[in-house]
Structure 1
Amino acid sequence: FVDGALAWLPGQSVLQLDGDDALRFLHSQTTNDVLQQPPGAARWHGYCSPKGRLLATMLAWRADASIRLLLPDSVAETIRRRLAMFVLRSKVRIANESGALVVLGLVGAAGADALARLQLAAPAPMKVAVADGASLPRSSGPGEPGAHPLTAIGLPPLPATAVDGAVADLPRWLLVAPVDAIEGVWHALRARLATIDSRAWRWTDVRSGIASIVPATSEQFVPQMLNLEADAIGAVSFTKGCYPGQEIVARSHYLGKTKRRAFLARIAARPGDDARQPSPGDVPREASPGSTPPEPLPGSDVVDRSGQPVGLVVAAAPSPDGAIDVLYEAQVAAANEGALAVGGQVLRPIALPYPLPVA
């Protein structure tokens, strides 16, 4: 990671909204303020049910008169169909462009040099840079600038505390490339970066503390439970007006302190490190010598010392040192008390890379 790494991310989809009413339509659907999102900026958005429960979290950016949404394959088509239900007479076309686009992830300072090989200035976190389509290294033929330019998106960095040998936070980027250019793009990036698999990239996402909704966690959380209104994430506007679930989300914000939040924790790799005093009927399992612990699935119960469910796993991924890092949602009181576990494995708290909102 420190020297720079590159990952192919096959589990991501890109939805594109076009048409005269595209921006205003999306503004009426998500938790963030689309109309105040300028070109050249990326923003996190939530998409809620009428009960204020998250159906998806998405990364959105403007592409000329269009707006694009990046979200997991597992929910993308469901979200596309649901959005289409509300188009009515609006001049909006919603398409899943995943067959035309490939998503890559880059991490580490060398990523900026690698992007420069593609005539892309590495964007700062939550900024967007676009390359001239005519300059792309295409797999066949010269090509012309088309509807899918090469796009780099800056992400929140990987905290230095997460990586052995890192003296500063490691920058991260997403690269959205047209399929007909991916062979040349991949070759240019690999000349500068080592490759990692998508699970290793998922670990960097987990350590960012930013949640992604999958089918197992759909409709389980209001946005505040996943810290989406935190300044560092900025996925919720409380001034933009109506969208599905807005009344519930606003009520949670204005009436009292949020009692559930998302937290980070680690399941230790070394045997014995994750041992605790068992409660009746709840005996933690220790990892076998030299092994990585079992990886809990999204939606798995997080339990307290008495075995009572107090939260859910949002995402988990193996760390470079063989542990499992977990992003989970739980009652604040239970998380502060500690002694939580998932699947019999003890969760050791890790600091989030951003402060939690006060309320």
Structure 2
Amino acid sequence: MNNWNQFLLLQGARASDGRVHDFGAALSADDLAAGFVAPITDLGLIAASGDDAASFLHSQLTNDVEHLGGAEARLAGYCSPKGRLMASFLIWRNDTSIFLQLPRDIQPPLQKRLQMFILRAKAKLHDATGDSANAVILGLGGAKAEAILANCFGALPGAPYAKLEQAAHGTLIRVADAFGAPRYQWLMSAETAQAVWPTLAASLAKGGNDAWRLAEVHAGVPQIGSGTQEQFVPQMVNFELLGGVNFKKGCYPGQEIVARSQYLGKLKRRTTLVTIAGTDAQAGAKAGDEVFAVADPAQPCGMIVNAAPNGMGGVDALVEMKLSAIEQGTAETGGVRLGSAQGAPLRFLAMPYILDALDL
């Protein structure tokens, strides 16, 4: 266990396997909307460096890497030849490296797979998760967070997916907003984190991985993990709506299928936001679990993409499903259920952006 995790345990964190879950209780959406800080301990970081690093990643990912600026971040996906997402990344760069952030549990095999395709390119990949500059990731958001961060950084990133770096404080990336307020990832050294933590914890609700996942769910941002690899074409999880797919760039694995899904035929599946009440739902609702429409109980109509405890005894989740099931679920409470047509009902919530394939 590293010094940062030991420090958090002394602050009351509950953790297992070196990953901080919460500080005694799950935070609710209302807690997050008011203002929160959450150590994020379940994400890994791959760094790509070398003269050909940008061109190599550009040829592998769904988004434009060659024109990625130093003051921005982007979402990007890594697809199988069949166009199914094997990973989703938050990517950014500095003067020496391009960084790909993804769930830590799938990082080793994904990094190994990418390494296989470098061939003669002048590019190197390494696990940057433990590098001192990125040793700690704090997630912040809600109404109070912006003013507190401004005291540290001065001017803040002005829009989602803008980024700034300061030698004294680290890297600050504004990600997708949630609860009507900006959200940020702050990457820094363990020494900086221990210095700023008391100020942050005095004013903001303290959470962990569960709180950050709940914020991601309410921001409508999917993350591919071990339970959902190769399940979705990017559009099924709204990835192109979030800027994670560039349809003008060159080829990448699965590009033909992703493009065909965009331009030929009609999109039949999307991802939407739901809440599932009850302790049984909290115990059972996880990424990769299937959902069923009551009107068609014989086969699943969709799958949970991401889920997080909502602090109210249940789970909030992003669920990919047939458009017909989304339409039914928004019109009829209990029209879609978890695990079977007799399972816990899904209650549909408003998405933070428009699903352009629907007229809801």
Please indicate, yes or no, whether the TM-score normalized by the shorter chain is above 0.5: yes
State the partner residue of 1:113: 147
Instruction: Please report the RMSD computed on the Cα atoms of aligned residues, expressed in angstroms.
Output: 1.9
TM alignment of 1:77-88, pairs within 5 A: 77-88=108-119
Structure 1 position 113, deviation (Å): 2.8
Deviations 1:263-300 (A, max 9, x none): 1111135xxxxxxxxxxxxxxxxx58xxx743401111
Contact 1:260–1:331 under 8 Å retained in 2: yes
State the partner residue of 1:158: 178
State the partner residue of 1:51: 82
Structure 1 position 115, deviation (Å): 2.1
State the partner residue of 1:8: 39
TM-score, length of structure 2 as denominator length: 0.82
CA distance in 2, matches of 1:13, 1:186: 21
Q: Which amino acid in the other structure matches residue 36 of structure 1?
A: H
Q: Which amino acid in the other structure matches residue 87 of structure 1?
A: I
1:299 and 2:299 aligned: no
Q: Which amino acid in the other structure matches residue 228 of structure 1?
A: F
Partner residue of 1:241 out of 240, 250, 254: 250
State the partner residue of 2:345: 346
Secondary structure at the residue paired with 1:24?
helix
Partner residue of 1:90 out of 105, 115, 121: 121
CA distance in 2, matches of 1:2, 1:210: 17
CA distance in 2, matches of 1:187, 1:68: 29
Q: Which amino acid in the other structure matches residue 55 of structure 2?
A: R
User: How many aligned positions are there?
Assistant: 313
Partner residue of 1:225 out of 223, 236, 244: 236
Contact 2:61–2:78 under 8 Å retained in 1: yes
Contact 2:84–2:230 under 8 Å retained in 1: yes
CA distance in 2, matches of 1:2, 1:80: 35
Structure 1 position 187, deviation (Å): 3.5
Secondary structure at the residue paired with 2:301?
strand
Contact 1:44–1:60 under 8 Å retained in 2: yes
State the partner residue of 2:303: 312
CA distance in 2, matches of 1:78, 1:204: 27
Contact 1:27–1:33 under 8 Å retained in 2: yes
Q: Which structure is higher in helix share?
A: 2
Partner residue of 1:336 out of 305, 313, 327: 327
User: Aligned in 2, Cα 1:253/1:352: closer, same or farther, shift over 3 Å?
Assistant: same
Largest Rg, 1 or 2: 1
Greater shift, 28-37 or 234-243, is seen at 28-37
CA distance in 2, matches of 1:229, 1:357: 11
TM-score, length of structure 1 as denominator length: 0.82
Partner residue of 1:20 out of 51, 54, 60: 51
1:194 and 2:225 aligned: no
CA distance in 2, matches of 1:354, 1:55: 24
Structure 1 position 241, deviation (Å): 1.2
State the partner residue of 1:215: 226
Contact 2:176–2:221 under 8 Å retained in 1: no
Q: Which amino acid in the other structure matches residue 54 of structure 2?
A: L
CA distance in 1, matches of 2:235, 2:127: 28
Structure 1 residues not aligned, in runs of 5+ = 137-149, 160-168, 270-286
CA distance in 1, matches of 2:268, 2:96: 40
Contact 1:118–1:188 under 8 Å retained in 2: no
Secondary structure at the residue paired with 2:70?
coil
User: Aligned in 2, Cα 1:354/1:86: closer, same or farther, shift over 3 Å?
Assistant: same
Q: Which amino acid in the other structure matches residue 257 of structure 1?
A: K
Partner residue of 2:98 out of 51, 57, 67: 67
Secondary structure at the residue paired with 1:216?
coil
Deviations 1:39-59 (A, max 9, x none): 211110010011111000000
Deviations 1:83-128 (A, max 9, x none): 1111111111111111122211001232223323433532231100
Structure 1 position 5, deviation (Å): 1.2
Contact 1:118–1:131 under 8 Å retained in 2: no
Q: Which amino acid in the other structure matches residue 57 of structure 2?
A: L
Structure 1 position 170, deviation (Å): 2.0
TM alignment of 1:270-281, pairs within 5 A: none
